[in-house]
Every structure is written in structure tokens, then in C-alpha cells.
Amino acid sequence: MARLRHANGKTLTMSVTYVDAIRDAQEKLLREDPRVFLYGQDISQFGGAFKATKGLAEAFPGRVLDSPISEDAMIGMAVGAAIEGMRPIVEMQFADFSSIAFNQIVNQAATHYYRTGVPVPLTVRLPSGGTPGSGPFHSQSMEALYAHYPGLVVVTPATVSDAYHMLLDSVALDDPVIYCEHKFLYRWLKAPRINGDGLPIGKARITRPGKHATVVAYSAMVHEAVRAADRLKEEGGWEIEVVDLRSVKPLDMDTVLASVARTGRLLALGEAFPWGGVTAEVVSRVCTDGFHLLDAPPRRLNSRDTPVPYHPKLWAAHRPTPESICLELRKLLTF
Amino acid sequence: MPETEEAVRTAAGLDRDYVRDVFRAMLRARLLENKLSSLYKAGKIVGGVYLGKGQEAVSASLGTSLIKGRDIFAALIRDQAGRTAFGEPLIDCTRTYLGSVLGPMKGRDGNIHRGRPLDGMPAMISHLGAAVSVVGGMLIARRIRGELAGVVGATCVGDGATSTGAFHEGLNMAAVEKLPMVVIVGNNQFAYSTPTDRQFACEDLLDRAKGYGVGGHSVDGTDVLACAKVIGDAVQLAREGAGPQMVVARLLRLSGHGEHDDGSYVPPVLKSGHLGRDCIETGSNQLVESGYATAEEIERWRSDFTDEVQAAVAQAQQEPLPDPWHEEWHACATQTGRL
């Protein structure tokens, strides 16, 4: 939440960062719901590798617990606790490390409701995506892998307010939620305050209205898409519509198709690797259900098909950039 | 058979009802599983049938030592006897194997994967060892709510599952959290067809308990009274706050991995040796010799359970099967529209 600080007799409204929003949502959940507890590596006194749990262990003794370096057991534990009626939030130190927990997430948590009729309300926070210098094992985006499995909800907040509200909503859901928070946005993204109540999970948002082409994006790529749209506006007066998916499962195809109906052109944009994935899913569904709406073949843009590189110069060119997005959009607009 | 005599001596003083309950659960499970095997061979069961033959003494001792309605039991592949002892209705088993829509899994999952999570029996997944941390989580939930006093959570694994990361992560976590957990390792000499010398290189799996700071116990899994004593004591230790306990039971799987497997890789010398003893036969003798039951009582139990098994199978066979047109097809509890 926005913090009011008094300095020199004046009231200043401080900005809220994306990671503040995640921390504050967890504080609110711990305060208001006795079923909530936090589990993860270094999240207690240390406050988490990214300080997303700073001060929470002191405020809520016994409910913010350091785990051993055991991602498999962390999720297994959360499944057991959720069966017992708790609302565990597990912090993976990096999304990449959730590969160790893959079995517990996709086989234990995801199948549980269908098999037994007993819901498993747990939330896994995945610090996702790349930052300069992070390299191959601290930069990956896992949302498509988890979205592939029935029984999981996968959310990808792109704004400070969504980071806050969608974490509250994730914990409120009776299902296992993979909450993909973007590390690049942690401190880079700020807002004066948390807005309103947000949209429900499963509803996409038109971040920027337009009429010449639609960019469907999520997480940090929403901001790159807006930058690209700004450039094309300056360059040629193009009005690019940007749709923020907010959650990749459920996928709000109603909003996407309505946007494509307005613009006739689609670019699906994601930071994850290009093979398959969310962008492929969006293109496929638009072709199936909205082929008649298209004035040009739909395009998609992802990272390059290599592991995520370490050096900032390589990294910046590995993921989609405003330049590469503009390039794709020009192809789309001039078809 | 000196080992048996020694076991009988150490088991002297075991509660009469407890021993009788252990054996009754073993016998009931064996009779049920014999029927399942014949149904499988008659082509009446889809998927696999996995039996606990030879492991009943271990499994039933655990299930009987746990308190229904309070404790947690994550049964695994060869735990029909423990399930029975812990109060799983016999009809749950026949319904699940025969695909009845009235069963706990409604035809959505089969055979040994069934469970009643809200009754303290989580449903297993095929990735054995994964249940250790689930039981840990159920216990941690109760600790946070202040409801852990006097509760025990238990699970069984085989020698093969001790090679998985999930087993090690789960056991280590239980030790770190000092949870009232009992992990039984049924060392049945083979993980599917792979013998233990291709599975682990330590001398005794019990060393692993020590390595994690977990209480360790060893038992002859073919000896009913020894199992009832050692496993009962381990459960009691956990219940009294001594932290996680691990019991390694030496035994031999008396069937194949599943009923599709004839187990022909098991050397005859193992089958004819001490570990090849059938715990139902030796247990029957032990109970009579030690005065826990009479031969007539055991025969009467056998007859009653046979009738009970027949009735459950007959009932499940008459029940409706899952119907794809009436299936809900919901993988999520929250219906969020088109997923």
C-alpha cells in the first residue's frame, strides 16, 4: 500500500514497487486469514532473497518458516497443509528451481481435485523472467509448462496493483495457483498507490486501446509492448492495442478475440522460449475461433531459442525488445 | 527357528486385542487381495493389481497402531493390510479396482491410488516417496493450528523409493521440523525387478535414519509379533514427541511387482529361506502358540472375511461405471470458465 511519510511537516505519498505490493499482499493475508502461512528458503529473518517477506516473520511468529533447500518437499508439504485446510504460500527462490518440484506440482497438486474431489488451495510464488546478469538458471519463465497441466491456475501480473490483488485472489482460490512474478519488475516498476480492487483472475485487460493491430502480452512484456506502441505512434501514427492477459490459465480469449475483431491483426508476445507456449496457444486459438477476423497472418515473438545468456548485452537481445517488437509489428501492419 | 522364538519372547506382554486386530487386518487384506488377483486373471479389472503379499505384518502393525479419526496414514502400493487396519472400508478397494462410480475415486483413478484425504488418508501418486512430505505438511498444518498434540503421521515406502529425492527431502524436512512422523521402509529385496544391490550401496537402510537425525528401528517383517512390537513402539515414540521414526523391515515380496509380473527374477533360494516365510502362516502359528487366539477363532475369521470380500465384490460389480457423458470433467475446484 502507499505509505504516507511525514517530512518537514509535509505529507509525502511514497510510491509502491511491484515487490512492495507482493510483500504487502502477504502481510494482509497473514493478518486477516489464520489459514495462511509462508514457506520458503531464507524467507524468515532474512526476509527472502528479494525481500518479498521482509519483516513478516517478526510480525507473524510461527507462520513464516524457512524451508530446507528441498523444492520437492516444499510443495509436497504445501499440498498436505492445503488438504488440511490451510492456505500455504510457497516462495520458490527462483522460478527455475521449481523444476525440482515439478512432480509435486503437476502430479500431486494439479491432479488432486479431479482425483479425489478435495481441493488443494496452495499458492506457489515463482520469481520469473530475466534480469541483466542472471544467466541460464535464474531467468526462466515457467508459465507455459505449468499451464499445460490441467488443475493449475497460472497468473502473470504485470502491474503493481495486479501484483497485489492477484496474490490476494490467488490465495482465495480453492485451486493450486502458480503465481509468476517478474523479477525485472520488482523494483523497476512503481506506482503511486495500489488501485481499487482490480479485475478477477481470468479476465484480461486492455492496457492501451488501439485500432491497427493487437499485441497480446503478459508480465514484463506488457511494458515492452507499450514502449513499442509508443514508437509506432510517433513514427507513423499507428494505434497499437495492447492486451495484458494477466493470467495465462484461464486464458481470456473473449477479450483477445474482441480486440482482434477491432484491429484485424495479432502479435502474440512472450518472454518465454519460443517452442510451443503461451504465444503459440494464443495464435492457435485466434486462428481457430477468429480466422475470419484476421486481415494478416498472426505473428508471435518470444525470446531466442537458446538458454538465457548471462551478459547484459546478450540478455537484452535475447528477450523481445521494443525494437524487435516494432519489427514484427511493421511486418504485420504492412502485410 | 530361533529368530521366531526370540521374537515371541520380546513380544510377550503385547496387548491381546492389539495383536488380534493386527492379525485380523492381515488376514482380511490377504483374502481380499486373493480375490482381486483372481478377478484380474479373469479379465474383470482394468489396469494393474498390486498386492501386499508378504508385507501384511508390517503394514497391519502400522495401521493398527494409528488412531482412526486423529492420525494420518499415507498408504502406499502394498498397504492393503494397513488401509484395512486404519479403517478404510473394504468396499472402497473393490469399487476402485472395479471402476464403480460410487467409489472414492469415481473411476477417475484406479487401484491403489485411492484415498480419503479428509479422513487422514491421502491418495497416493505413482511417484513413490512423494507422500513423505505430504504427510509432513498435514502435520505442520496441525501444528500451526495448535492441534498436533498426540497426533502421528505415517507412511510406508519400499526399498526402491529410498533412492528417490522425494524420500530424502521429505525425511530431512520431517527431521528438521521434529514432526511426529513414522516412515516404514519395507525392504522387500526388489524394486520391480531390480535387486537391492543395484538400488543402494549402504550396508543397511537404517543408516539413513541416523544420517538424518531420525530414530531408527529394525524388524523382521515376516514375524508378526516382532512387527507389532517394534512398529507399535515406533508409533508411540513419535506420539510422545521423540520426533520422526524410521522402521526398516526385512522381508520378501511374495508376489510380482503387480499381478502382470510373475516375479520369476526372484532366486528360489530367497523364496525358500527365512525371508520367504509367509507372515500369515507364521503369524497364525504365533498367535495360537502364544495364546493370542485359537485355531478355531482364526478359522472363523477366515470364513467371515471370505464372506465379506465376496459381498463387497458382488456389490461393486453391480454398481454403475463412470459415464463419459455424465462426467463433470473439472480439473479445478474453481470453475473459471474456459480454461
ipTM over 0.90: yes
For B126-168, strand residue ranges (E) read: 153-158
pLDDT at B273: 96
pLDDT at A254: 97
> Looking at domain B5-317, which CATH architecture does it have?
3-Layer(aba) Sandwich (3.40)
Rg (C-alpha) for chain A, rounded Å, is 20
Contact B166 A72 (CB under 8 A): yes
Closest CA in chain A for residue B177? A67
Closest CA in chain B for residue A84? B138
Quote the CA–CA distance of A176 and A130 in Å, as a whole number. 24
For A14-102, strand residue ranges (E) read: 16-17, 36-40, 64-66, 87-91
Contact B137 A84 (CB under 8 A): yes
- Peptide bond before residue A250 is cis, with ω within 30 degrees of 0: yes
For B45-70, what is the mean pLDDT?
Answer: 96
Say which of A63, A68, A71 has its CB closest to residue B172.
A68
> In the predicted model, is pLDDT for residue B321 greater than 50?
yes
Contact B133 A150 (CB under 8 A): no
Tens of pLDDT along chain A (335 residues) come to 444 444 454 555 579 999 999 999 999 999 999 999 999 999 999 999 999 999 999 999 999 999 999 999 999 999 999 999 999 999 999 999 999 999 999 999 999 999 999 999 999 999 999 999 999 999 999 999 999 999 999 999 999 999 999 999 999 999 999 999 999 999 999 999 998 878 999 999 999 999 999 999 999 999 999 999 999 999 999 999 999 999 999 999 999 999 999 999 999 999 999 999 999 999 999 999 999 999 999 999 999 999 999 999 999 999 999 999 999 999 999 99
Contact A116 B132 (CB under 8 A): no
Contact residues on chain B for A37, CB-CB shorter than 8 A: 144
Closest CA in chain A for residue B153? A80
Min Cα distance B32 → chain A (Å) is 23
- CB contact, 8 Å: B302 with chain A? no
> In the predicted model, is pLDDT for residue B7 greater than 70?
no
Query: For residue range A222-251, what is the model confidence (pLDDT) as tens digits?
Result: 999 999 999 999 999 999 999 999 999 999
Positions of A annotated as catalytic residues are 138
B336 confidence band (pLDDT: 50, 70, 90): low
Query: For residue range B74-105, what is the model confidence (pLDDT) as tens digits?
Result: 999 999 999 999 999 999 999 999 999 999 99
Please state whether beta strands A247-249 and A153-155 pair in parallel, antiparallel, or not at all (unpaired).
antiparallel
Specify the pTM. 0.95
Residue A124 C-alpha cell reads as: 506457489
Q: Return the ∠ at Cα A151 (arms to A146 and A153), rounded to 5°.
A: 60
Which one of A44, A116, A173, A253 makes the best mutation probe of the B interface by having the most chain B beta carbons within 10 Å?
A: A116
- Type of residue found at A217: A
- Type of residue found at B115: G
- Domain borders along chain B are 5-317
Quote the CA–CA distance of B61 and B25 in Å, as a whole number. 9
Distances (CA, A) of A71 to A23, A300, A307, A331: 21, 33, 22, 43
Contact residues on chain B for A82, CB-CB shorter than 8 A: 137
Name the helix (H) or strand (E) containing B247.
strand B245-250
